[in-house]
Amino acid sequence: MFKGICRETHNGNMVTKILKIPKFFTCIRNFSSENVLVEVNNKTNTAILRLSRPPVNGLNLEVLNEFESLLSQLEQQKVNGVIITSNKEGILTGGIDIAELQTIDQRRLKKYWTTFRDTFLKLYNTPLLTVAVINGHSPAGGCLFSTACDYRVMTRNYNIGGNETQLGLVAPIWFMDRVADLIGHRQAELAFTQGKLFSTDEAHKLGLIDEIVENTAEGLSKAQIIINSFANVPKKAREISKRFTRQQFLDKMIRDTDDDIRHFVNHIGSNETQKIIEQYMQKLKSKRF
Ligand SMILES: CCCCC/C=C\C/C=C\C/C=C/C(=O)SCCNC(=O)CCNC(=O)[C@H](O)C(C)(C)COP(=O)(O)OP(=O)(O)OC[C@H]1O[C@@H](n2cnc3c(N)ncnc32)[C@H](O)[C@@H]1OP(=O)(O)O
């Protein structure tokens, strides 16, 4: 017997069921965590990770830890590819859960930012093939995490980009570097100084995303096609090539770890930034944009 978890919504409440499935008939392996649903198709050996933390899949400490740990498990299982998407069509993630930034406790800020960086690095550095199916808005942290994937497809009529400057925050330099890798230095400079959120079409024209799809289902099947297209590429050579093309960014990010964490703690932990964050949260709640 194989044990799986099935999550369903009944009358608005999330219900978790433990399923017992005979191994012979199983086509899905399922080992979801609290905030991230995971299923691995036994036939294709591809995993789908769905962020599932209402209301907006905010990236709090728990989500980041779960995500990192699930990726490690998928590496051990040697899946053929990982597709990252949202369980809620319309929002990939609202980025950092702003509640995590509403503190001047330096130890908490340091812990959060270390985890945030480590999770990004895990995704950026994984030898696994990764495809982001961006099936909704993807501001700030959402954009950043999708840039860590090998390929990005996005559904129409949503926004993606680094909007931190609009909020009065400064995005980390490695986010800017990663976006510049994809859209070029000049466009990244314009985007981050303006805190620009791009529409799906704009993001596609710039190269921030690779393809546009009509809906999540098309996104998932496109992602599977991309993963399949690597089937005849020697695995070891692909993994080493991925590592080589990413090595320079990685070395810089790791070299700058202490400075980056110090900047984050000082920037977010200052009274001035705390006021800005508080005002932004109020705007968000009253939808005054
Ligand atoms: C060198 C120094 C380095 C310094 C580094 C500094 C900062 C870090 C930098 C970069 C990394 C990343 C940063 C971030 O991610 S910051 C977060 C930025 N995110 C946003 O600005 C998104 C804000 N949200 C939205 O735009 C919208 O909510 C949405 C995601 C498009 C969804 O819209 P929708 O209309 O569907 O929902 P609501 O707006 O009604 O939201 C529902 C509910 O959720 C609350 N909420 C939304 N986003 C967040 C969030 N990010 N964190 C916490 N809470 C959020 C919203 O207030 C509503 O709450 P309510 O109680 O009213 O139901």
Give the pLDDT of residue 6: 44
Q: Report the residue among 264, 284, 287, 288 best suited for mutation to probe ligand 1: largest number of ligand atoms under 8 A from its CB.
A: 284
48, β-bridge pairs? 39, 83
Distance CA 83, CA 96 (A): 20
Cβ(216) – ligand 1 distance below 6 Å: no
CB 1 within 8 A of CB 24: no
Cβ(169) – ligand 1 distance below 6 Å: yes
Q: Which domains does the chain have, with CATH numbers?
A: 1-27 (no CATH), 31-286 (3.90.226.10)
Give the pLDDT of residue 235: 97
Q: What is the pTM of this model?
A: 0.91
Ligand 1: atom nearest CA of 289 is 26
Helix (H) or strand (E) run with residue 40 in it: strand 36-41
CB 140 within 8 A of CB 163: yes
Cβ(139) – ligand 1 distance below 6 Å: yes
Give the pLDDT of residue 22: 41
Cβ(55) – ligand 1 distance below 6 Å: yes
Residues across the chain: 289
Q: Tokens at residue 142, please?
A: 């959402």
Q: Tokens at residue 218, please?
A: 């098309």
Q: Tell me which residue of 147, 169, 150 sits closest to 100, measured CA to CA.
A: 169
Cβ(267) – ligand 1 distance below 6 Å: yes
**Please, what is the Cα angle at 177 between 203 and 65, to 5 degrees?**
90
Q: Give CA separation, 82 vs 44, 45, 125, in Å.
A: 11, 9, 13
Q: pLDDT digits over 181-190, tens only?
A: 999 999 999 9
**Residue 201 alpha carbon to ligand 1 centre in Å:** 22
Cβ(168) – ligand 1 distance below 6 Å: no
Task: Specify the residue with its C-alpha closest to ligand 1, atom 48.
Answer: 94
**Residue 97 alpha carbon to ligand 1 centre in Å:** 6
Extract the runs of DSSP E, i.e. beta strands, from 135-185.
136-139, 151-155, 159-161
Strands 151-155 and 130-134: parallel
Ligand 1: atom nearest CA of 173 is 1
Q: What are the contacts of 212-217 at 24+ separation with CB within 8 A?
A: 212/153, 212/154, 212/155, 212/156, 213/133, 213/153, 213/154, 213/155, 213/156, 214/155, 214/156, 215/89, 215/135, 215/155, 216/85, 216/89, 216/133, 216/135, 216/155
Q: Tokens at residue 228, please?
A: 């399949």
Q: pLDDT digits over 85-124, tens only?
A: 999 999 999 999 999 999 999 999 999 999 999 999 999 9
* SS3 assignment, position 86: strand
Peptide bond into 55 cis (omega under 30): yes
Max CA separation in the chain (angstroms): 60
Residue carrying structure tokens 């299982």:
77
Positions in the chain short of pLDDT 50:
1-4, 6, 8-9, 19-26
Task: Specify the residue with its C-alpha closest to ligand 1, atom 35.
Answer: 287
Residue carrying structure tokens 């909020």:
167
